[in-house]
Amino acid sequence: MWLLLLQAFWFIAAAYASNAFPPLMRGQRPIDGGKMFGGARFFGDGKTWEGLLGGIIFGVFIGSLQIYGQSYIPPEYGLAEMTFPIVFLLAVGAMAGDLIGSFIKRRTGIKRGEKALMLDQLGFLLIAFVFVSPVYLPGLNTFIILVVLTPVIHWLANILGYVVKVKRNPW
């Protein structure tokens, strides 16, 4: 079982890194520039250019470490061979998923920082899978493990972010 977990987390590391990094940027320039759509902001103040670019860069950085280090990992672990296109698409896909989630939240009247069950936890993950699918398809086990465990990991990471005062809410 531990090997399946390792394989899953190895594959998704760049997306996780991208999704986790933006709050650390403390961005000031909203992506939507304050523009409205359907009576609400496109994304809101929480989605900034600094966070978007910082998230992508950090995800690519983590993925680059994987690319560099993978030759030192025994092949019997069965880890996905990470390449720049895979890493880049996971990082960009995660950020796109986060933006799509924010757009949906604004359309449904959910305010910044309010809970959106499963949208916050899985949106970035599912869109990262969609983005990377033209160049790499992980196994079904990897997909299932990540869909099941990502909400728990996301919740724990948000609690940590709240404790260290990076996030406003513990969810």
pTM: 0.92
Question: Is residue 101 predicted with pLDDT exceeding 80?
Answer: yes
pLDDT at 99: 96
pLDDT digits (tens, 9 = 90+) for 46-100: 999 999 999 999 999 999 999 999 999 999 999 999 999 999 999 999 999 999 9
Taking residue 137's Cβ as centre, other Cβ atoms within 10 Å add up to: 11
pLDDT digits (tens, 9 = 90+) for 118-162: 888 899 999 999 999 999 999 999 999 999 999 999 889 889 888
DSSP-derived 3-state class of residue 4: helix
Select from 156, 153, 136 the least CA-distant residue to 9.
153
